[in-house]
């Protein structure tokens, strides 16, 4: 019986050691990520997030009160000019229109594929905010409402705060 207890203690200790090393490496990887930001809507002060921090493909993209969380942190991967891929630090995925791009279409999470539905143009405004346009279109990331979990949809430019975003640098560890 005593040997069983010692064996269990050894297994638990080894597991904790392995998880501790993995956690340490994960934190270091996150801290060394570059060009990572929360994307905060000017009108609501809420950030773009995958709904409920889901790792599933086709999870909706919506807004949520800003937190320094991985699921609310996007790495901007510059492609050309102002065009970027936006990679979520938590899921390692991006977002794109859920259907053919047109007015009112929502955004959902998809694996990074570097296709034109995942190319976003960050257009800097005079007040240091950005409009986020789906490259090759005249459709902009726009909040559908002010409440938590309101969808982010595509709309033509309307020169309102519902389409303006602040990039807030962050490097979360959780």
| Integer Cα distance of 67 and 168 in angstroms | 11
Binned at pLDDT 50, 70 and 90, residue 114 comes out as confident
* pLDDT reported for residue 24: 54
Q: What is the pTM of this model?
A: 0.84
Q: How many CA atoms does the CB half-sphere of 17 hold within 13 Å? A: 6
CB contact set of 119 (below 8 Å; sequence gap of 6+): 79, 83, 84, 85, 134, 135, 136
**Strand 83-88 to strand 46-50: parallel, antiparallel, or no bridges (unpaired)?**
unpaired
CB contact set of 99 (below 8 Å; sequence gap of 6+): 105
| Integer Cα distance of 2 and 138 in angstroms | 71
Pick the CATH number of 35-169 from 2.80.10.50, 3.30.1490.20, 3.40.50.300, 3.30.750.24: 2.80.10.50
Q: What is the rounded average pLDDT for all residues in the chain? A: 90
């Amino acid at each position: 019986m005593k040997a069983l207890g010692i064996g269990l203690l050894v297994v638990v200790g080894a597991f904790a050691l392995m998880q501790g090393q993995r956690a340490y490496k994960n934190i270091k990887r996150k801290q060394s990520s570059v060009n990572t930001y929360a994307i905060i809507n000017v009108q609501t002060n809420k950030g773009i997030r995958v709904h409920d921090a889901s790792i599933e493909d086709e999870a909706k993209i919506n807004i949520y009160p800003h937190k320094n969380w991985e699921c609310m942190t996007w790495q901007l991967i510059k492609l050309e000019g102002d065009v970027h891929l936006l990679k979520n630090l938590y899921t390692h995925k991006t977002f794109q229109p859920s259907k053919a791009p047109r007015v009112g279409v929502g955004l959902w999470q998809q694996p990074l594929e570097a296709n034109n539905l995942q190319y976003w143009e960050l257009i800097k405004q005079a007040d240091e905010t950005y409009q986020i346009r789906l490259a090759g279109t005249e459709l902009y990331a726009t909040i559908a409402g002010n409440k938590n979990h309101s969808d982010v949809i595509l709309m033509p430019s309307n020169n309102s705060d519902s389409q303006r975003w602040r990039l807030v640098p962050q490097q979360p560890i959780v």
